[in-house]
Amino acid sequence: MELRESVPLRAGPGGAPVECPVRWQRSSRARRTSLRIDARSGEVVVTLPLRGSRRQGMALLGNHADWVMERLSALAPAVAFADGAEVPLGGIPHRIRHDPAARAGVFLQDGEIVASGEAAFLARRVGDFLRAEARRRILPLVARYAASLGVRAGAVRLKDTRSRWGSCAPDGTLAFSWRLVLAPEWVMDYVVAHEVAHLRELNHSPRFWAVLRSINPHHEAAQDWLRRHGAGLLRVG
């Protein structure tokens, strides 16, 4: 079950009700009713167990209305891939410019992301370009860090995750959010180093952190940047 609707929530005594976007979903794994904020869609997600009721979900929303509205209002504005929109690339703002007469494809030029072709396909083409750019930048970093540690990476996959910037599977497969290409280069560098370090230590033991520190000196600053700005990257596209 998945249902989207607008639900009026009242924050504080005497406050006027405010319409909030809510996505209802039911999960066989849920043991209790829960809620979270989906930063990418800008929705409140209410998860119900199989026998949970809408009434329980509404009660939870009402009891946490202040928290919900505070979190929603703190979200960065959504930025669509559209002509004139400004998106970060490597942490540097780039303006999207639609130029139907430009040479075929999407390319970088003087601080702009220039896209040719029909306007109807602009968003998809810019998204595809950024995913390809993420792969182009991430693969050399994987190779460099793997060589420095004397390990071998498996396949490298690009995903659009909501909570994890990277992961390392037991078989050596590495996965990264393509949205890292939007972050400053040193932040992407840290996430790649973090996941490659797991090829040596597939855990978060003191040995793992020692390995990571040996190849990446700014991991604490990068973690702090992602805590403060990571949710904003989910609002792009």
Whose CA is closest to 81, among 121, 136, 21?
121
CA distance 73 to 66: 11
Would the pLDDT of 104 be above 90?
A: no
Question: Rounded to an integer, what distance in angstroms lies between the CA atom of residue 6 and that of residue 20?
Answer: 5
Mean pLDDT lowest among 2-11, 178-187, 194-203, 213-222 = 2-11
In sequence order, what are the residues at sequence separation of 6 or more whose Cβ sits closer than 8 angstroms to the Cβ of residue 113?
87, 89, 94, 95, 96, 97, 106, 107, 126, 129
Give the length of the chain. Answer: 237
CATH superfamily, domain 86-233, is: Metalloproteases ("zincins"), catalytic domain (3.30.2010.10)
Q: What is the pLDDT of residues 131-155, one digit of tens each?
A: 999 999 999 999 999 999 999 999 9
Find tokens 């990476």 and name the residue.
Answer: 153
How large a percentage of the chain has pLDDT more than 70?
A: 98
Question: Each residue of 161-211: pLDDT tens digit?
Answer: 888 999 999 999 999 999 999 999 999 999 999 999 999 999 999 999 999
Domain locations along the chain: 2-74, 86-233
Residue 4 burial class via C-beta count within 10 angstroms: exposed 0-12, middle 13-18, buried 19 and up: exposed
At 44-59, the pLDDT tens digits run 999 999 988 999 999 9
Q: How crowded is residue 109: how many other Cβ atoms within 10 Å of its Cβ?
A: 11
Q: Is 44 helix (H, G, I), strand (E, B) or coil?
A: strand
CB 138, CB 182: distance < 8 Å: no
Give the Cβ contact number of residue 40 at 10 Å: 18
